[in-house]
Amino acid sequence: MSVALASRLRSRRFLGGILRTNGGRVGFGLFVIAVGIAIFGRYFAPYSPLDTLGIPGAAPGNGHLLGLDFIGRDVLSRALYGGRSTLFLAGLATLITYLIGGTIGLVAGFSDTVLDPILMRSIDVLLTVPALLVILLLVTAFGGGSFVLIAATSLVLLPGVARIVRSATMGVATRGYVEAAIARGDSTHAILRREVLPNISGVITADLGLRFSWGIILIASVNFLGIGIQPPTPDWGLMVSENRVVLASNPLAIIAPAVLLGVLIVGVNLMSDAYARQRDRSEGHQ
């Protein structure tokens, strides 16, 4: 079976697992809406997200569907622009987390040497420090640029991914097909790539949504605190923080980005939960 065909089959199983339940369908719909706004929203924005157009904190009206923000910029335009940074940063942080944490988990779970406890005890050190504190320390020390924010978020998510992948790897490391590959003299890299990784991909996929949603929450929290994405860049988390001063005159300046963040996070969580339930149900029938 070709790699492309195998990839298509896995994608169909993934979507099938999600769309079989009402919760999964709702989650998929919410996810598509949020991602669609984040990627294509800027093309429908009525104004530039950076232009000051009127009285700060003005209520909806006069061509501004969601009113104006704390310095008089159009809230709708900034909301339509503001999702791309959140989506990009959280997505890239999750990808980096799985590349590094997944590799650590694979090696630790398959290794029957002292390498396993060394790797995992090193990972456990990160669990002793609160997640937000790790991000705050790194952002404060190295600045609030995108690279630092991605690296800090990846570092926070890494221990959970490493532990999940290690546990799944240990569950298949003693299976017959792995032992047969060892007996054939296959290299460790080949065994992990061909025998172990495909058989734990379901666990990874089920966990992926959870890590991605945590990444969104962490990045939005840092942006809300004002030490992540910097003004005047439109960002949903930053918009909530900026517009607290106009909550009384135009609450939509806060409600709109908060709702969009909520739609994205809830959508991802519902999809992940639906896939995990369907996967558990399928394994239970085997």
Mean pLDDT of 2-24: 63
- pLDDT, tens digit, 9 for 90 and up, residues 28-79: 999 999 999 999 999 999 999 999 999 999 999 999 999 999 999 999 999 9
Report the range of poorest mean pLDDT among 2-6, 185-189, 238-242.
Answer: 2-6
Asked whether the predicted pLDDT for residue 131 surpasses 70, the reply is yes
Asked whether the predicted pLDDT for residue 8 surpasses 60, the reply is no
- pLDDT, tens digit, 9 for 90 and up, residues 157-172: 999 999 999 999 998 8
Question: How many whole angstroms separate alpha carbon 24 and alpha carbon 236?
Answer: 25
Q: What confidence score (pLDDT) does residue 89 get? A: 92
Question: How many whole angstroms separate alpha carbon 167 and alpha carbon 163?
Answer: 6
* Paired residues of 73 in beta bridges: 52
Relative orientation angle of helices 146-172 and 131-142, to the nearest 10 degrees:
140
Asked whether the predicted pLDDT for residue 283 surpasses 80, the reply is no
- pLDDT, tens digit, 9 for 90 and up, residues 76-95: 999 999 999 889 999 999 99
Nearest to 264 by CA among 131, 85, 100, 97: 85
CB contact set of 160 (below 8 Å; sequence gap of 6+): 101, 207, 211
Q: What confidence score (pLDDT) does residue 57 get? A: 95
Mean pLDDT of 106-121: 87
Q: What confidence score (pLDDT) does residue 166 get? A: 92
Q: What is the pTM of this model?
A: 0.85
Mean pLDDT of 231-257: 93
Domains of the chain: 13-82+234-286 (no CATH), 83-233 (1.10.3720.10)
Q: What confidence score (pLDDT) does residue 174 get? A: 83
Asked whether the predicted pLDDT for residue 3 surpasses 50, the reply is no
Nearest to 81 by CA among 257, 229, 253: 257
